[in-house]
Amino acid sequence: MDKLGKKQKGFIVVSKIVAVGTAVPPYVLSQSDAKTFAQQLFPISYPQTEKLMNIFDNTAIDKRYISCEVDWFRNEHTFTQRNQIYVETACKLAEDAVRSCLEQANINQKDIDHIFFVSTTGLATPSIDAYLINQLGMRKHIKRTPIWGLGCAGGVAGLSRAYEYTKAFPDSRVLFVAVELCSLTFRPQDLTKSNFVATSLFGDGAAAVLIAGDEVSLTGHAPSVIDSMSTIWPNSLDVMGWEVVEDGLKVIFSRDIPKIVQRQVKEVVDTFLDRCKLTIDQIDYMVSHPGGVKVLEAYESALKVSKGKFSFAYDILQKFGNMSSVTVLFVLQQVLQTEPTRGYGLMTALGPGFSSELLLLNWNKGG
């Protein structure tokens, strides 16, 4: 068998997504409470405060989950204090997500060959995957690849890197874990519009995905991963990201993100699907990162796809908010829970860079 996963002797080495596990912290924040919090914290004398408050009413979010009680966020905290909570909470949520994933797949933790770990909302050395290996009692020769800085694109990017590993090593079982604790980046003294937007959108969560190579025996009908593509647009570094400041991570959002989606995304998606010999009309499931309502609407307009195709993304946005890289994996989990037997799924996410990540899924047996 070709270890690089290329076509050989009439077949293509494929990888399967076996299971997805998710976890959220215990504190629930309703959108109405988030708005009240912002009204109390940000001075009304600040220019445009009342106008900006309308953002909270137009997010399509009902609630999200956060890592501390609301009162904790009213006070300033050092980067060290925030990061200590990040490490503790990330370890707990990641373990919960992994255990859920492995239980669904009926696979022992010692059978995992490689862990890919993605996060952008905190720092840890050793990285969180090292903590997981100890917490779960995984074998000591397991490989691990921590990836930092991908932001909202990290869910699809990390899954793509895990998929590529299973192409090279088709007898492997790979665990992809993403954890984002966006709430811990909130800085009460930051009166920028970007912070208002982040306060209206961001939540916390973790997800774990098990991916198996072509030589791993599986029961049941799991989607195949067909291909992936990464794109980075030049001269767009200031569109989205985090700026490292003295007391933590300062969020950066450009108001032009929906316009960029309108202008740039169709060409990228068409190029990718053409490479896979498909068109957007043949995609049954849009497994998209719901960065926000305006971004999803920009996707719909640019690709000429109905809102219904994004129903899973809207549902996750409503129930969990924007959890950065983790969110698209919650969307993937919801799609898998409908137990598709046929069709194609397109995973999409945008992130710092400014970048796009695409991944194609196939539920069609033998195709």
DSSP state of 170: T
Closest CA to 164 of 232, 230, 231: 230
- State how far the Cα of 192 lies from the Cα of 26, in Å rounded to an integer: 28
Omega cis (within 30) before 79: no
Closest CA to 358 of 163, 144, 181, 170: 163
3-state helix, strand, coil in the chain (%, to 5): 45, 25, 30
Q: Which of 68, 91, 101, 152 is catalytic?
A: 152
Give the CA-trace dihedral at 165, 117, 239, 296, to 10 degrees: 80
- Residue 152 is among the residues annotated as catalytic for this protein: yes
φ, ψ of residue 365 in degrees (nearest 5): -65, 130
Contact status, residue 275 vs residue 229, Cβ threshold 8 Å:
yes
DSSP for 189-223 reads T--SHHHHHHHHHB-EEEEEEEEE-TTS---S--P
CB-based contacts of 265-268 (< 8 A; 24+ apart in sequence): 265/298, 265/299, 265/302, 265/303, 265/348, 265/356, 266/302, 266/303, 268/229, 268/231, 268/356, 268/358
Closest CA to 304 of 344, 342, 270, 259: 270
The first and second tokens of residue 303, run together, are 């690709």
Residues 6+ apart with CB under 8 A from 314: 60, 290, 296, 307
- State how far the Cα of 306 lies from the Cα of 300, in Å rounded to an integer: 6
Residues 6+ apart with CB under 8 A from 62: 30, 31, 318, 319
| Residue 17 C-beta-side C-alpha neighbours within 13 Å | 29
DSSP for 57-70 reads GGS---EEEESS-G
- Catalytic sites, residue numbers: 152
